[in-house]
Amino acid sequence: MSAHAEAHAAHPPQAHQSSRVDARTLGMFLFIASEIMLFGSFFTAYFFVRVAAGTPWPTPGLHLPVFVAGINTFILVTSSFTMHWALQSIKRGNRVGLQAGLSLTFLLGLSFLLTQIAEYSRIGFAPYTDAFGTIFYCLTGLHGAHVFVGLTLLLAATIRSYRGHYSSEEHLGVEIPGIYWHFVDVMWIVVYTTIYIL
Amino acid sequence: MKNPLRSEAEAFQFLLGSVVYFALIVIAAVINRWAGFAVFIVLTAGVLWWWFRSRRVEAPRQTSPAHRGAPDERRILVVANETVGGEALREQIERRGEGFRTRVLVVSPALNSPIRHWASDEDPARAEARKRLDTSLQRLQESGIAASGEVGDADPLQAIEDAVRTFGPDEIIISTHPEGRSHWLERGVVTGARERFAVPITHVVVDLEAERE
């Protein structure tokens, strides 16, 4: 048996971790990078329809609920503040702050999603109405799906926080959903600005 | 370049920055469409300039292998491209292994051109590295040093990292050409290895031309 094989037989080699970023956080970065590409493809379609194809935006006769979406934007940005508060709390060993922060973030996120669904039901056009409708539903729906995923992560983190998990030293289970949640918020700001306002 | 999503706190700051960025564009666009476009261009250029300039200088995570083998065994990893052999290297190996049962592993990185590397065309580079490795092992054997060897990654630091994980050396010897002729010295391989691996590292300069003369 060669020296190399012998070393393998005695001790399995340690896992490589030359990266300066924790492997789990790195996984979230790669996931977010793929999400940015996904959103990028939808935005490309949106800009093509609106700018290159010269489609009027929104189609004459149709109106976007700018005010309600603005309130929704406020709700989502506020949820990022509560998320940040939750993590800062557990870093200082404040469990009540963590639980309250995560619960509020979850409730605010849920309010956003329910408001979005309610708006869909009375917006007055459908994905098949025209290109405008298709892109509108695709982009806001894609974002809504991400909010749903974020809420699932937040729900898991919230339940764990009430079960006594996490401490001032060990809180990666809050940090990673937090990064994802802020990313979802940033994407909404882009969607809201480009679709509803500009 | 700084990753704005490295931690939750930085992602939160990124979100606040995004709110300000889009708010300024919207305000300017409400006043005048072209003003909005101008603010978008100026802000985007500013953000990109700041982003590319902000660079973290952090020490890399150090790898420290656990001692393997018997207590009286000393494992020496020799990393060299073309310069294995020579009196200086032989002396170093003997000095480092004095009083121990020495086990030497020679790693010859499969150095490749960037185009071939990106095209995953590694076979010729590995074949060349294998030839150099065989010659190196033969030279060491002629000098009275029994060694095993393997072809390593194209990146010398990665090749060392791989060998550190699988071989568990107590010492690393990096053999290079003299300054001015060594690409590895220019690329900071020795300095990089000292930063990344918590193992004593000796740099041996082998001037084969001078030895031949």
Contact of A162 with chain B, judged by CB distance below 8 Å, is answered with no
- For chain B, give the percent of residues with pLDDT over 70: 87
**Quick one: how many helices (H) and strands (E) in chain A?**
6, 0
- For chain A, give the percent of residues with pLDDT over 70: 89
Chain segment B2-54, per-residue pLDDT in tens:
667 778 888 999 999 999 999 999 999 989 889 989 999 999 999 888 888 87
B169, B75 contact by CB (below 8 A): yes
pLDDT at A112: 96
Distance from CA of A118 to the nearest CA of B (A): 25
Distance from CA of B26 to the nearest CA of A (A): 7
CB contact under 8 Å between A4 and B63, yes or no, is no
Q: Which region among A35-49, A80-94, B72-86, B135-149 has the lowest average model confidence (pLDDT)? A: B72-86
CA B81, chain centre distance (Å): 14
pLDDT at A170 over 50: yes
Closest CA to A177 of A23, A17, A20, A32: A32
Higher-pLDDT residue of A152 and B74 is A152
pTM: 0.68
Q: How large is the ipTM?
A: 0.84
Contact of B54 with chain A, judged by CB distance below 8 Å, is answered with no
Average pLDDT, chain A: 87
What band does B208 get if pLDDT is binned at 50, 70 and 90? Answer: low
Segment B20-29 long-range contacts (CB within 8 Å, at least 24 positions apart): B21/B47, B22/A189, B22/A190, B22/A193, B25/A193, B25/A198, B26/A193, B26/A197, B26/A198, B29/A197, B29/A198
CB contact under 8 Å between B11 and A3, yes or no, is no
Average of pLDDT values for B191-208? 85
pLDDT at A146: 95
Average pLDDT, chain B: 83
**A-B C-beta contacts closer than 8 Å:** 90
Q: Which region among A88-102, A122-136, A182-196 has the lowest average model confidence (pLDDT)? A: A122-136
The token duo for A138 is: 């695709």
Report d(CA B63, CA B83) in Å as an integer.
26
pLDDT at A93 over 60: yes
Chain segment B159-193, per-residue pLDDT in tens:
898 888 888 899 999 888 777 666 776 678 888 88
Average of pLDDT values for A120-129? 87
CA A14, chain centre distance (Å): 34
Chain segment B95-129, per-residue pLDDT in tens:
887 888 888 999 988 888 888 888 888 889 899 98
The token duo for A185 is: 């918020």
pLDDT at A124 over 80: yes
Give the closest of A13, A20, A84 to B61, CB-based.
A20
The token duo for B106 is: 């020679």
pLDDT at B78 over 80: yes
Contact of B198 with chain A, judged by CB distance below 8 Å, is answered with no
